């Protein structure tokens, strides 16, 4: 079976990408499958920049076509934070729970009317010569006052999807796979780069 290498060590992200790409006859692998891959310093100021860097660094190291994805949460009342620091909001080695706890602490006196938030996902495709292209997707929601549900990862237990009145942590993964920021980015990715996937 052909293989698509995704430049991430995030197990939750890999689970979602495998689900979203299940229609293709490819094996989705990650840096967890290749422990000798170089570390990637995510020092770009944008999600797009980090996604592109991930893809290019691994593509140049392996000589293959590589997908890079960077995503995160922007909260209106916090001026867009945590933004590109979403995965390490409470510290460089922070757990999801620690990040969620810090977010709730910063929003403790903020009413529901001002807890609007947006999930962002940027997906880059690169080969050893550089970036082939980048697509993006978003999902708008509201930050809950406490965690709900155990599905997903990251800030999912806090991210309320208004039309369902539930957090991503409560929603069935199949529903999240249709409406999430990563889902919308993948839909664009399939439209623009489906031929690459077929030729892997």
What Cα–Cα distance (Å) separates residue 13 from each residue in 25, 28, 39, 175, 188? 19, 11, 17, 16, 17
Catalytic member of 36, 43, 70, 127: 70
Q: What is the pLDDT of residue 20?
A: 85
Q: What is the pLDDT of residue 193?
A: 84
Mean pLDDT of 84-107: 96
Mean pLDDT of 71-94: 96
Of 12, 32, 48, give the one whose Cα is nearest residue 157.
12
Q: How far apart are the first and last CA of the chain?
A: 10
Q: What is the pLDDT of residue 3?
A: 86
Of 111, 123, 122, 121, give the one whose Cα is nearest residue 76.
111
Of 137, 43, 47, give the one whose Cα is nearest residue 83.
47
* Residue 144 · residue 155 · CB < 8 Å: no
High-pLDDT (> 70) share of the chain, %: 99
Of 64, 184, 72, give the one whose Cα is nearest residue 126.
64
* Domain extent for 125: 2-199
Average pLDDT, whole number, for the chain?
94
Known catalytic residue: 70? yes
Give the confidence band of 110 by pLDDT, cuts at 50, 70, 90: very high
The domain spanning residue 164 has which CATH number?
A: 3.90.950.10
- Between 80 and 2, where is the model more confident? 80
Please count the other Cβ atoms lying within 10 Å of the Cβ belonging to residue 66.
24
Give the confidence band of 61 by pLDDT, cuts at 50, 70, 90: very high
Collapsed DSSP state (helix, strand, coil) of residue 71:
strand
Point out which residues pair with 26 in neighbouring strands. 2
In the predicted structure, residue 197 carries a pLDDT above the cut 80: no
Q: For residue 138, give both structure tokens.
A: 């978003």
Residue 58, judged by CB atoms within 10 A of its CB (0-12, 13-18, 19+), counts as buried
In the predicted structure, residue 195 carries a pLDDT above the cut 80: no
Q: What is the pLDDT of residue 25?
A: 84
State how far the Cα of 104 lies from the Cα of 99, in Å rounded to an integer. 9
Collapsed DSSP state (helix, strand, coil) of residue 54:
helix
Please count the other Cβ atoms lying within 10 Å of the Cβ belonging to residue 154.
21
**Structure confidence by residue, pLDDT tens digits, 12-54:** 889 988 988 888 888 899 999 998 999 999 999 999 999 999 9
State how far the Cα of 25 lies from the Cα of 20, in Å rounded to an integer. 12
Please count the other Cβ atoms lying within 10 Å of the Cβ belonging to residue 103.
22
**Structure confidence by residue, pLDDT tens digits, 124-155:** 999 999 999 999 999 999 999 999 999 999 99
Say how many domains are in the chain: 1
Q: For residue 134, give both structure tokens.
A: 């980048």
Q: What is the pLDDT of residue 176?
A: 93
Mean pLDDT of 62-85: 96
In the predicted structure, residue 161 carries a pLDDT above the cut 90: yes
Q: For residue 41, give both structure tokens.
A: 């310093």
High-pLDDT (> 90) share of the chain, %: 80
In the predicted structure, residue 160 carries a pLDDT above the cut 90: yes
């Amino acid at each position: 079976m052909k293989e698509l290498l995704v430049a991430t060590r995030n197990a939750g992200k890999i689970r979602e990408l495998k689900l979203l790409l299940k229609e293709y006859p490819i094996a989705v692998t990650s840096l967890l499958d290749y422990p000798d891959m170089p570390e990637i310093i995510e020092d770009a100021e944008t999600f797009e920049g980090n996604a592109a860097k991930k893809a290019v660094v691994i593509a140049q190291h392996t000589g293959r076509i590589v997908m890079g994805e960077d995503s995160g949460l922007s909260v209106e009342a916090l001026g867009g934070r945590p933004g590109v620091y979403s995965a390490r909001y409470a510290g460089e080695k922070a757990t999801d729970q620690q990040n969620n706890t810090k977010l709730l602490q910063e929003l403790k006196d903020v009413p529901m009317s001002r807890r609007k938030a947006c999930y962002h996902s940027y997906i880059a495709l690169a080969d050893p010569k550089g970036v082939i292209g980048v697509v993006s997707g978003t999902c708008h929601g509201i930050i809950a006052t406490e965690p709900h549900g155990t599905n997903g990862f990251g800030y999912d237990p806090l991210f309320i999807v208004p039309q369902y009145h539930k957090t991503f942590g409560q929603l069935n993964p199949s529903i999240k796979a249709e409406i999430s920021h990563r889902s919308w980015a993948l839909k664009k990715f399939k439209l623009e780069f489906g031929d690459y996937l077929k030729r892997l």
